[in-house]
Amino acid sequence: MNNNLKYSFYGFDYDQTLDLHSFGFNVFNGVADDLVTSANGDLQVRLNYNGDIGYLHNLRIANDVVVFVPVVSDVEVEGYLRSTNSFVLICPLDELKELWSALRYEPYELEELKEANQNDWFLLWLISSGTKSLMSLSIESLVDSLLKNIIAESVDGSPSVQEVIQSLRKGSKTLELIDSSNFSFNETITVFIDEDSGETIEWNALDTKRAHCLINSNYLLKIT
């Protein structure tokens, strides 16, 4: 698996800036000390996606990877979705520890992160759809929007993407993070979504066996 995080520092001391990329996508560019924060005992990072506004993300751990779960207020939703373009950030724990040390924090802090839960996985998969027809970045808002606006799938079959969404919403199915080392992305179930803007977008939502939800090029969510 290729290195996920790539970063460069410029300057010194309090004026030092950080340029942080994941798979070529700029997730942070700014004063290095502005990246990490905490609230209510949660370690958080403020990612600005090379823009002027930073968006809070809770750090969650799952085995040997760290998941960045957005914590975005309703007034920030439009800007967040436009900035991220449905990008979901997940990285190996070892890579984040390296960055953590470079930021002069203690890497052991990352081993005390809260575990990623089913709501986190479900939320991130829905965000990866790329839909922007939202008033809130909540699971309910995303589910309602997608169930309303999905118009077709590239290949008919069962369960449909809408049925998978419903099953996850009800809790009758769960998600488990796995790496995609043995998976080919050449064939996927693509969903067509009619946005409120009139645009039709495409979402590579499932593998062709309809056994995994796709969230980025390195990780899958196994449906169990």
Q: What is the pLDDT of residues 89-110, one digit of tens each?
A: 999 999 999 999 999 999 999 9
Is residue 40's pLDDT more than 80?
A: no
Q: Report pLDDT for 90.
A: 95
Is residue 35's pLDDT more than 60?
A: yes
Nearest in space to 219 (alpha carbons), one of 24, 6, 65: 65
Q: Could you tell me which residues come within 8 angstroms of residue 18 by beta carbon, excluding any fewer than 6 positions away?
A: 7, 8, 9, 10, 28, 29, 30, 31, 32, 35, 103
Q: Report pLDDT for 1.
A: 47
Percent of the chain clearing pLDDT 90 (strictly above): 83
Mean pLDDT computed over 151-157: 94
Q: Report pLDDT for 42.
A: 86
**In this structure, are residues 44 and 57 in contact, taking their beta carbons and an 8 Å threshold?**
yes
pTM of the model: 0.94
Q: Report pLDDT for 2.
A: 53
Question: What band does 186 get if pLDDT is binned at 50, 70 and 90?
Answer: confident
Is residue 27's pLDDT more than 70?
A: yes
- Structural tokens at position 47: 């990612």
Q: Could you tell me which residues come within 8 angstroms of residue 142 by beta carbon, excluding any fewer than 6 positions away?
A: 123, 126, 127, 129, 131, 134
Q: Report pLDDT for 111.
A: 87
- Structural tokens at position 27: 């997730």
Q: Greater confidence, 91 or 40?
A: 91
- Structural tokens at position 61: 């751990």
pLDDT tens for each residue of 169-183: 999 999 999 988 777
Is residue 148's pLDDT more than 90?
A: yes
pLDDT tens for each residue of 66-80: 999 999 999 999 999
The DSSP string of 91-121 is EEHHHHHHHHHHTT--GGGGGGPPBP-HHHH
Q: Report pLDDT for 149.
A: 96
pLDDT, the chain, mean: 92
**In this structure, are residues 145 and 123 in contact, taking their beta carbons and an 8 Å threshold?**
no
Percent of the chain clearing pLDDT 70 (strictly above): 98
